[in-house]
Amino acid sequence: MSNSQRLTSFITLFTLFFLLSACGTLGPETALYSNKNGAPKGPHDYQLLIIGTENEKTADMEGSNRHTIFVPLYGKAKIELTEGEFQVLDGNAFDDPAEFQLPAPGLDAYVVGDPGDADVESDYSIFIRPLGKPGGYATITTCAELLDSNFGELLSGKDVKILNDMDGAAYCSIEQVGNLLDGDMRLFRDTGKSVFSNVTAELLTVVFEVEIDEDGDGIVDYTVLVRVPIFDELLEGEYWEYDNNGLRLAQVRFYDCSTNVETGESSCEY
């Protein structure tokens, strides 16, 4: 083998290693620049890849050990949420909703800005970054049906009106994972590189905007925000609405560290 052939082979192998490391395929122990991509130090508990494709998937993607969910490259898809250990139960969002299983976040419902004794520290944290061809973007919104418009004791005895947008019987959170997934793929450059962002609050809770009429005279006295965690007794039918506009890949990691969903502070080490 000539020197030029050896050099070409080396460059090819290095490029493949670089790309696999960037996507986390080689695992946290071998990933390049693991402390410079915005992710916490140490291994993650689970990784989910949400893959946007223009080729409609028809295969049965249930009951396997996959870590991938396929969604349309353009348009909305649903990812239904089920309580349990991390697992993709149905990886195809083309025919019917995909289904992802994840643990309860260990949070309480509370009025934003006035948590009182509510538990606002999550049992785990979620980080996400966009990958794939530059130019695409996506938004992810957590939605659920609300079983009690007074949120139990939080707004008991008050006349309320919920202002959130609805998707059928479900309310969708006023928070989104949005501009975090802008598809900017200038990875590992000095500026503009794609990094992980903490989206624990956005993906594990639904925030409701509620008008309050204290005395029932038909006049709005004030407006509050109420944050309710998924799998809370106030909710049912939780799902993520994935609205894709050309994003090829969203890399979602779950870490064994907490995030304060009221302040945004985290116990994760970087």
Dihedral angle sign, alpha carbons of residues 73, 78, 84, 88:
negative
The token pair that represents 64 in the structure block: 């396997």
Predicted confidence at residue 20, as pLDDT, reads: 38
- What pLDDT band is residue 136 in, cutting at 50, 70 and 90? confident
What's the predicted TM-score (pTM) here?
0.83
What's the chain's Rg over C-alpha atoms?
Answer: 21
The pairing of beta strand 137-146 with beta strand 235-245: antiparallel
Question: Where is mean pLDDT largest: 21-35, 133-147, 191-205?
Answer: 133-147
d(CA 196, CA 211): 35
d(CA 234, CA 229): 9
Q: How many CB atoms lie within 10 A of CB 109?
A: 23
List Cα–Cα distances, 162 to 151, 154, 165, 176, 222, in angstroms.
11, 14, 9, 18, 12
Please name the residues in contact with 236: beta carbons below 8 A apart, sequence gap of 6 or more.
Answer: 144, 145, 147
Instruction: Give the angle subtended at the CA of 95 by the CAs of 93 and 99, to the nearest 5°.
Output: 40
d(CA 203, CA 254): 11
Torsion of CA 203, 20, 255, 127, to 10 degrees: -30
DSSP 157-223: T-EEEE-S-EETTEEE-S--B-TT------TTSSSS----EE-HHHHHEEEEEEEEESSSSS---EE
pLDDT tens for 83-129 read: 999 999 999 999 899 999 999 999 999 999 999 999 999 999 999 99
The token pair that represents 172 in the structure block: 């969708």
Q: Is 151 helix (H, G, I), strand (E, B) or coil?
A: coil
pLDDT tens for 164-206 read: 999 999 999 999 997 555 554 432 223 357 889 999 999 999 9
Q: Which one, of 122, 112, 141, 108, lies nearest residue 262 by Cα?
A: 112
Please name the residues in contact with 251: beta carbons below 8 A apart, sequence gap of 6 or more.
Answer: 23, 24, 47, 49, 128, 129, 130, 131, 196
Whether the per-residue pLDDT at 222 is higher than 90: the answer is yes
The token pair that represents 117 in the structure block: 């004794």
Mean pLDDT of the chain: 84
d(CA 160, CA 216): 9
- Regarding predicted confidence, which is higher, 180 or 237? 237
Q: Is 23 helix (H, G, I), strand (E, B) or coil?
A: coil
